[in-house]
Amino acid sequence: MNRARSSLAPLSFVTAVLGIIRKDLLLEWRGRARVNATLFFALVTLLLFSFAAGPAQAILAKNAAGYLWLAVLLASTLSLNEAFRVENENEAIEGLRLLPVDARAIFLGKAIANTLLLASLSLVLVPFVVALYSVSVAGAWSTLCGIFLLGCAAISAPGTLYAAIANQARARDVLLPLLLFPILVPALVGAVRATALVLEGDPMGEMPSWVALLAAFNLTYWALGVVLFGRVVEP
């Protein structure tokens, strides 16, 4: 089976990746209750941070980037826990294993779909961050979109890999955060600092360094995911 998978033409590989992305996004769209629950959870998290800091607007504005990424990180566990739920409930994971599709295509399709979902969530949260924390993003939307894509990709790559591992265990809701959060710390630091520089200004020109750090961890996470995912899903 591995020999058959490795002989796939490049077009077949790309088609498989796009098909998995489309399938996962359609499932999320049709099950909008899960999307709404994830968004609501993230909004409640932002609101709780606002209440915790009280009326000190300077503190809220200074920590806005950290609050935003913590909300995205916590909400991502809800989204990632669902990444393999349908396959496991309907025993379709066996079908994925038997398909003449490279396991790397399955990983890339699911990880890219998760990245798009989390990046969309991040963009939706920005107006609430502006309203709650009194920050401005005027003229910085394109930069924020790039940072969100990099940051959410850094969450999704190891998140997809660990979700595949956790879904084989009974306590998957507990296991996924335990596996995921420690490894994400360096990438999240880069995402928070890059976002903070967008919100607060970058007089010292630090942005390229933090973006480069975030990109480096992305490269590492995605490369490891591509290499290791096949071993995780193989029986």
151-210 tens-digit pLDDT: 999 999 999 999 888 877 777 778 888 999 999 999 999 999 999 999 888 778 788 999
Please state, in angstroms and rounded to a whole number, the distance separating the CA atoms of residues 63 and 98: 48
Determine the pLDDT at residue 96: 65
Band of pLDDT at residue 4, cut at 50, 70 and 90: very low
Over residues 91-148, the pLDDT tens digits come to 666 666 666 778 888 899 999 999 999 999 999 999 999 998 888 888 788 899 999 9
Contact 136/130 with Cβ under 8 angstroms? Answer: yes
Return the closest-CA partner of residue 105 out of 180, 6, 25. Answer: 6
Length reported for the chain: 235
pLDDT over 80 (residue 72): yes
* H helix runs in 63-140, sequence order: 64-81, 85-89, 92-98, 103-133
153: which 2 tokens? 């990709």
Q: What are phi and psi of 90, to 5 degrees?
A: -100, 10
178 Cβ neighbours under 8 A, 6+ residues apart:
none
Q: What are phi and psi of 8, to 5 degrees?
A: -65, 140
37: which 2 tokens? 């629950």
Please state, in angstroms and rounded to a whole number, the distance separating the CA atoms of residues 22 and 30: 12
Please state, in angstroms and rounded to a whole number, the distance separating the CA atoms of residues 211 and 101: 34
Contact 161/232 with Cβ under 8 angstroms? Answer: yes
Return the closest-CA partner of residue 121 out of 48, 229, 38. Answer: 38
Q: The whole model's pTM is what?
A: 0.87
Please state, in angstroms and rounded to a whole number, the distance separating the CA atoms of residues 62 and 78: 27
Band of pLDDT at residue 43, cut at 50, 70 and 90: very high
Measured between alpha carbons, how far is residue 168 from residues 81, 98, 150 in Å? 11, 18, 28
Contact 153/218 with Cβ under 8 angstroms? Answer: yes
